[in-house]
A and B are shown apart, each in its own frame.
Chain A
Amino acid sequence: MSEIVIVGLNHRTAPVEVRERLAFPADTVGHALRGLRERDGISEGVILSTCNRVEVCVLSDVGYKGVEHVKEFLAGFHGVPVGELSDHLYHYLGEEAVRHLFRVSSSLDSMVLGEPQILGQVKDAYGYACEFKAIGPVLDKFFTKSFSVAKRVRTETRVANSAVSVSYAAVELAKKILGDLTDKVVMLIGAGEMCELAARHLLSAGAKGILVTNRTFERAVHLAEEFDGTAVRFEELGTHLKRADIILSSTGAPHFILMRKDVEAVIRIRRNRPMFFIDMAVPRDIDPDANEIDNVYVYDIDDLNNVIETNLEERQREAELAEEIVVAEVAGFRRWLDSQQVTPTIVSLRRKFDEVRQAEVAKALSALGEADPKTRKVVESLAASILNKVLHSPIASMKRETDGRSPMEMVTAVREIFDLPEEEEEGAPEAAERPPEQGGTVGRQ
């Protein structure tokens, strides 16, 4: 019976050297997918390869043995002995695999919880599998479902709603203090890497322009060119400060370069238009007392880190809600998977009984000799009606979930009781029930 299998490793189970060795660069994925499909017992496959994880998802027709096949494939493709890999690899089967992919797509398994990139990477992996025709109906449904689960997690929880990096925290704060950033000017004092990054984020969030100043004027000019901004001489900082709404500072100065009274003077000239100082220097550049001035906000690197910390805690809380959504969606998908197995069994069962019916009817009719058409009709409809009545309850039981038993258990029992053949080509998945598009709500089973 076919089973979804995921084998892989991630940032938690393997160091970066191992992840590097097992990664599939984009130009090798097509070749790898072909190699994967050629293996016995693997009918569909998708390869997800990011800097933090490598995962191979397949539809295995040989159940658990599929795990070994994928491990051998991974080892063979990258030329690494299986023994060396085993410690780093994890594997998931059936319902566990479904849960795993749903969690990965929703970024609940990421290093930075809720980071948005992973969904795009899963979509790319799916895209490659489609392009190289490695995907079939089951994995196709599985992956598209995982996208909708990720979307649901995104809209129904706030797992990705808060900034968890210094530069995003700076942007988030700037927006809350200054509102719309489109008419705001950013000033960069010094050339720290983190400041540059924050400046870039502020500009991409819409800030209007950038002023750059540095002790070495050439460096300021160089940076200003990079940002399409204006360089300002360090000595003229005081006169240009009034133009800036957001000030990012990271000089190597041993003392404050802006004292409270300097800021007071500037805010007066600005007629109290608010100013947001982000001080990334250690030791600090801006007198923290300036934060007490009305309409002036001074955040140093520790303050920003505290903001991130709080946001991470919030994400953690929201992740619990997201996990509930995943649980409900896994149940929904499991039902669809089961229905995929139920339909061929029903077809098989009907066919077997139909053969019996035809044989017995033929026997009865020949025993009756030259019976009139009415008698023949009665015999035929008698057999058909007995067949329908007998089959009604096993078929209904297979379709129904009762007493916590999944339909799969019924399918297995029915196959054994009636000695049905293992493989059944008829009863295409299309005939089966489609999975619920929106999935169940939290708590619904």
Chain B
Amino acid sequence: MHTIPLKVTALFYLVGALAYLHFIFTLNERSAKVGRMLLLVGVILHGAGFVARYFAAGYTPITSLFESLSFSAFAIVCVFLAFELRYHLRVLGAFVAPLAFGFSVSAAFLPGEVRALAPALNSNWLPVHVILLFFGNAVFAVAFGAAVMYLLMERELKRKKLGAIFKRLPSLDVLDDINYRCLTIGFPLLTLGIITGSIWASFAWGSYWSWDPKEVWSLITWLLYAALLHGRMTVGWRGRKAAILSIVGFCAILFTFLGVNLLLPGLHTYTNLSG
């Protein structure tokens, strides 16, 4: 029942992403406006879909891979729109919206029927733990977009061959600042997500930490971002170094989220391909 609206939202994200891409090529302001409207409508539909599914299933619908991918897309668009509202960084849409489309369209091709909830998941900690982590991930996705933009821009400035990128991207300073803001928002979310997960684990499985692959990879991700935050605050890591670490961190997030589920079975394997 949830698949049809999800396909529709994926379509909104796709056309939104195309509008932003059109904007970055032509710098036509109207395209950016259209892109923003499409993402906004898409995210509202998406949110309504979640609420409907919540009532149909009786639990927060973030338990299968289908639901997780779909929620990731939702969170990324929410966070992007919030950043756009705050910083007016329209070009970011061309980097982030395709990511949201990618997540939502992959979800749309997975089996999406509502299933009975596994006993361990039947807890009030589920929404707290998962929503914190997913919004944290979404903030890091925006940081990833800004980091890619930073590296592209820096490369042009260092090579002194200024072309299309120079004209289209914001200043290095702004991109680095976005990266830092994302870190200061995303890191607490990630930390709280892991802590709440740990508390929940003690209720569900009897121990706070059981070195399950997902937990190990979450820790690796956390350590990467902790190192970046520490380096920024104490040594003054910024610019290129910070951008590269931000990209590495996001790859770790993707692996923790998808790679672990698909490749390394463990306690957290509720979200494999079969749903």
Residues of A within 8 A of B (CB): 158, 161-162, 173, 175-180, 270-274, 291-292, 294-295, 297, 299, 303, 306-307, 310
B174 in contact with A179 (CB, 8 Å)? yes
Q: Which 8 residue pairs are nearest across A and B when measured between Cβ atoms?
A: A271-B236, A179-B173, A179-B171, A272-B236, A303-B160, A295-B239, A176-B171, A272-B238
Known: A306-B160, A307-B162. A179 touches B238 (CB 8 A): no
Cβ of B268 < 8 Å from any Cβ of A? no
22 CB-based A-B contacts, threshold 8 Å: A162-B167, A176-B171, A176-B172, A177-B157, A178-B171, A178-B172, A178-B173, A179-B172, A179-B174, A179-B177, A270-B236, A272-B237, A274-B172, A274-B239, A292-B158, A295-B240, A297-B158, A306-B161, A307-B160, A307-B162, A310-B161, A310-B162
CB of B264 to closest CB in A, whole Å: 35
Q: How far is the CA of A77 from the CA of B153 in the complex (A)?
A: 57
Known: A273-B236, A274-B172, A303-B160. 14 other contacts (CB 8 A): A176-B166, A176-B171, A177-B157, A177-B173, A179-B173, A179-B177, A270-B236, A271-B236, A272-B237, A274-B173, A291-B158, A297-B158, A307-B160, A310-B162
Residues of B within 8 A of A (CB): 27, 153, 157-158, 160-163, 166-167, 170-174, 177, 235-241
Residue of B nearest to A180 (CB): B173
Q: How far is the CA of A175 from the CA of B170 in the complex (A)?
A: 9
Q: How far is the CA of A360 from the CA of B77 in the complex (A)?
A: 81
CB of B185 to closest CB in A, whole Å: 20
Q: Give the interface SS of chain B, mostly helix, strand, loop or mixed.
A: helix
Q: How far is the CA of A161 from the CA of B174 in the complex (A)?
A: 21
Give the residues in chain B near A161, CB-CB below 8 Å. 167
B163 in contact with A272 (CB, 8 Å)? no
B241 in contact with A297 (CB, 8 Å)? no
Q: How far is the CA of A272 from the CA of B173 in the complex (A)?
A: 12
Give the residues in chain B near A295, CB-CB below 8 Å. 238-240
Residue of A nearest to B236 (CB): A271
Known: A297-B158, A299-B160, A310-B163. A177 touches B172 (CB 8 A): yes
Q: How far is the CA of A372 from the CA of B27 in the complex (A)?
A: 77
B239 in contact with A294 (CB, 8 Å)? yes
Q: How far is the CA of A178 from the CA of B158 in the complex (A)?
A: 14
CB of A217 to closest CB in B, whole Å: 33
Give the residues in chain A near B170, CB-CB below 8 Å. 179
A294 in contact with B162 (CB, 8 Å)? no
Q: How far is the CA of A157 from the CA of B162 in the complex (A)?
A: 19
Give the residues in chain A near B27, CB-CB below 8 Å. 158
Give the residues in chain A near B173, CB-CB below 8 Å. 177-180, 274
Residue of A nearest to B163 (CB): A310
B239 in contact with A272 (CB, 8 Å)? yes
Most chain-A CB neighbours within 10 Å: which of B162, B167, B239? Answer: B162
Q: How far is the CA of A177 from the CA of B162 in the complex (A)?
A: 12
Q: How far is the CA of A303 from the CA of B157 in the complex (A)?
A: 11
Residue of A nearest to B175 (CB): A179
Q: How far is the CA of A306 from the CA of B236 in the complex (A)?
A: 32
A271 in contact with B163 (CB, 8 Å)? no
CB of A265 to closest CB in B, whole Å: 14
Give the residues in chain A near B237, CB-CB below 8 Å. 272
CB of A309 to closest CB in B, whole Å: 10
Q: How far is the CA of A7 from the CA of B239 in the complex (A)?
A: 57
Residue of B nearest to A270 (CB): B236
Q: How far is the CA of A46 from the CA of B33 in the complex (A)?
A: 43
Residue of B nearest to A307 (CB): B162
Q: How far is the CA of A301 from the CA of B167 in the complex (A)?
A: 21
Q: How far is the CA of A179 from the CA of B157 in the complex (A)?
A: 14
B240 in contact with A294 (CB, 8 Å)? yes
Residue of B nearest to A296 (CB): B158
CB of A279 to closest CB in B, whole Å: 12
Q: How far is the CA of A180 from the CA of B235 in the complex (A)?
A: 23
Most chain-B CB neighbours within 10 Å: which of A179, A299, A303? Answer: A179
Give the residues in chain A near B240, CB-CB below 8 Å. 294-295
CB of B160 to closest CB in A, whole Å: 5
Most chain-B CB neighbours within 10 Å: which of A176, A179, A292, A295? Answer: A176
CB of A198 to closest CB in B, whole Å: 17
From the candidates A162, A177, A299, name the one contacting B171 in the complex (CB within 8 A).
A177
Q: How far is the CA of A179 from the CA of B171 in the complex (A)?
A: 5
